[in-house]
């Protein structure tokens, strides 16, 4: 099958029997729901750009499995150049959507599971690697979007999966049959879950022998029997359901998506199982997936940061302060922070290496440094953007007020005329354009897009402490101590 177009992707979602719930009710036509559709548009952009010849080198690549041209989001990285092109592609999509385009988790899961299954088979003589290669070939041939699902609810985080009062706090096997397994549990905060054709489920922590039933990885279709999603709320999300609110939304076309994914006795055939009880490899999948996904943030968050920097510069221009030295300095600092994140994403890619399975893995230390910076720098970029834009970002009347013909003034002025008069921008800039840029900044800093930019920068791909643990492991402090001893002439 050829690469799907954006419209073909959207049409393909209508063919699924995905079960979606929101505000306590089942949503039958979720594809066209005003709160969900912007996130679908974001994923559609990954298909649209793959059709554009000017982006062909970034968006498409030759499959290592079939030799066919595929979307890079379904690719197994074959070189450090592939790893760097991944980051560049993610920056491009962040620039085009100013939001989360949701396919990164699947791509990162592909590469982590591919290399890990090879090593499981090497030790145990299992067939997980062949299972995965067949599945990924199917995904590539059909240009599918696959969600990578890792984050379990966890319950009491001081206890292992097998020690939980409720075993469903981690996805686990409840029945092993000759033809497959039956699983129960849930995954939280799942980016792009509803918009995906398939899911790959992975463990979320390292496990011991008592946790064998929780050491499981598999693929299943999004509309599998017993699987359903509960849509996650976002700040200002119901603005998308209001009439005459396209400006108030801030980014009316694009948006992110998170959901709680529930598995209620879902059957998984043998051919879609990639880990089933080999508990000592759970940590390997987690570490590799986390590394790839922390690399991703050096691309996607940078692209979104580009749009926020541009919006802040426009706000300064509309306010008539773009020549002020303090404003210029703030924009320089925002750019410096943003490009530093990009440097980290490129660096961990350039230092990548070939795994036993043949695909390329990033430098884990630098990937964790990349994500540690992402937990900080976007917050400062947001602060500076809000500083430049001013308080109107959070105090502006609604679009309905700006359009209102209700008379309130002594001389017959309407609410709309009053709003347009007192919130006018500099000469030559319409009040509406000032409205639009303020709402766009609000959306990125505080609204729905903040889920995919500010807050996700903190918790996506693991919380800050998770990266610090990996930095401690990978930092080679003993080796650095020896360097100092050698130069200082210290002999033990």
Over residues 235-268, the pLDDT tens digits come to: 999 999 999 899 999 999 999 999 999 999 999 9
Let me know if 438 is exposed, middle or buried by CB neighbors in 10 A (0-12, 13-18, 19+). Answer: buried
Measure the N-to-C terminal CA separation of the chain; round to a whole number of Å: 65
Instruction: Find tokens 């509406």 and name the residue.
Output: 432
Amino acid 449: pLDDT: 78
Are residues 43 and 22 in contact, defined by beta-carbon separation less than 8 angstroms? Answer: no
CB-CB neighbours of 258 under 10 Å: 23
Choosing from 74, 191, 355, 375, the catalytic residue is 191
Instruction: Find tokens 């979307």 and name the residue.
Output: 71
Active site residue 175: no
Are residues 429 and 318 in contact, defined by beta-carbon separation less than 8 angstroms? Answer: yes
**pLDDT < 50: residue spans in the chain:** none
Amino acid 293: pLDDT: 97
Over residues 355-388, the pLDDT tens digits come to 999 999 999 999 999 999 999 999 999 999 999 9
Amino acid 451: pLDDT: 79
Domain residue spans of the chain: 8-286, 293-477
Amino acid 347: pLDDT: 98
Amino acid 1: pLDDT: 65
CATH, domain range 293-477: 1.20.140.10
Active site residue 231: no
Choosing from 9, 74, 100, 287, the catalytic residue is 100
Separation between Cα atoms, residue 167 and residue 214, nearest integer Å? 9
Are residues 87 and 342 in contact, defined by beta-carbon separation less than 8 angstroms? Answer: yes
Amino acid 67: pLDDT: 97
Instruction: Find tokens 């529930």 and name the residue.
Output: 262
Angle (CA) 192-196-200 rounded to 5° is 90
Over residues 93-132, the pLDDT tens digits come to 999 999 999 999 999 999 999 999 999 999 999 999 999 9
**C-beta pairs of 171-179 under 8 Å, 24+ apart in sequence:** 171/201, 171/214, 171/216, 171/263, 172/213, 172/214, 172/216, 173/213, 173/214, 173/216, 173/276, 173/277, 174/213, 174/265, 176/276, 179/269, 179/270
Separation between Cα atoms, residue 210 and residue 201, nearest integer Å? 20
Are residues 41 and 2 in contact, defined by beta-carbon separation less than 8 angstroms? Answer: no
Q: Considering the entire predicted model, what is its pTM?
A: 0.97
Choosing from 231, 272, 297, 318, the catalytic residue is 297
Active site residue 297: yes
Tokens standing for residue 329? 């300095």
Angle (CA) 424-428-434 rounded to 5° is 40
Let me know if 7 is exposed, middle or buried by CB neighbors in 10 A (0-12, 13-18, 19+). Answer: exposed
Amino acid 158: pLDDT: 97
Active site residue 220: no
Choosing from 80, 293, 307, 419, the catalytic residue is 293
Separation between Cα atoms, residue 238 and residue 296, nearest integer Å? 29
Active site residue 191: yes
Report the run of H or E that residue 69 belongs to, with start and end.
strand 69-71
Domain at 8-286, CATH from 3.10.20.30, 3.40.50.970, 2.40.110.10, 3.30.930.10 = 2.40.110.10
Active site residue 42: no
Separation between Cα atoms, residue 45 and residue 37, nearest integer Å? 12
Amino acid 50: pLDDT: 98
């Amino acid at each position: 099958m050829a690469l799907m177009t954006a419209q073909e992707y959207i049409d393909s979602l209508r063919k699924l029997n995905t079960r979606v719930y929101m505000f306590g009710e089942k949503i039958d036509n979720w594809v066209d729901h005003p709160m969900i559709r912007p996130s679908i548009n974001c994923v559609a952009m990954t298909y649209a750009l793959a059709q554009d010849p000017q982006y062909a080198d970034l968006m498409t690549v030759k499959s290592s499995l079939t030799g066919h041209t595929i979307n890079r989001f379904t690719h197994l990285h074959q070189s450090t150049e592939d790893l760097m092109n991944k980051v560049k592609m993610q920056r491009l999509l962040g620039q085009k959507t100013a939001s989360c385009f949701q396919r990164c988790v699947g791509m990162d899961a592909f590469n982590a599971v591919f290399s890990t299954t090879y090593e499981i088979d090497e030790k145990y003589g299992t067939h997980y690697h062949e299972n995965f290669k067949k599945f990924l070939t199917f995904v590539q041939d059909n240009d599918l979007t696959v969600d990578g699902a890792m984050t379990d609810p966890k319950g009491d985080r001081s206890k292992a999966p097998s020690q939980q009062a409720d075993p469903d706090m981690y996805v686990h096997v409840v029945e092993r049959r000759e033809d497959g397994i039956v699983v129960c549990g849930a995954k939280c905060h799942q980016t792009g879950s509803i918009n995906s054709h398939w899911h790959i489920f992975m463990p979320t922590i390292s496990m011991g022998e008592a946790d064998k039933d929780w050491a499981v990885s598999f693929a299943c279709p999004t509309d599998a029997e017993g699987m359903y999603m509960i849509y996650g709320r976002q700040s200002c999300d119901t603005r998308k359901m209001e009439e005459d609110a396209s400006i108030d939304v801030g980014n009316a076309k694009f948006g992110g998506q998170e959901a709680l994914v529930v598995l209620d006795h879902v059957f998984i055939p043998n051919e879609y199982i990639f880990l089933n009880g080999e508990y000592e490899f759970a940590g390997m999948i987690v570490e590799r997936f986390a590394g790839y996904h922390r690399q991703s943030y050096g691309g996607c968050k940078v692209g979104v940061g580009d749009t926020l920097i541009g919006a802040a510069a426009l706000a300064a221009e509309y306010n008539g302060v773009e020549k002020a030295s303090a404003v210029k300095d703030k924009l320089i600092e925002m750019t410096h922070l943003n490009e530093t994140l990009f440097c980290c994403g490129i660096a961990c890619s350039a230092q990548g290496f070939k795994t036993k399975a043949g695909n390329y893995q990033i430098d884990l230390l630098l990937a964790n440094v990349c994500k540690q910076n992402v937990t900080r720098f976007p917050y400062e970029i947001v602060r500076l953007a809000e500083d430049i834009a001013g308080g109107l970002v959070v105090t502006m009347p609604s679009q309905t007020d700006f359009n209102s013909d209700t008379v309130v003034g002594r001389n017959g002025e309407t609410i709309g005329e009053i709003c347009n008069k007192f919130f006018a921008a500099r000469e030559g800039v319409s009040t509406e354009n000032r409205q639009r840029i303020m709402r766009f900044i609000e959306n990125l800093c505080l609204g729905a897009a903040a889920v995919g930019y500010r807050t996700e920068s903190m918790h996506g791909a693991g919380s800050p402490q998770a990266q610090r643990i990996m930095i401690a492991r990978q930092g080679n402090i003993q080796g650095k101590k020896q360097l100092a001893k050698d130069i200082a002439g210290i002999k033990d």
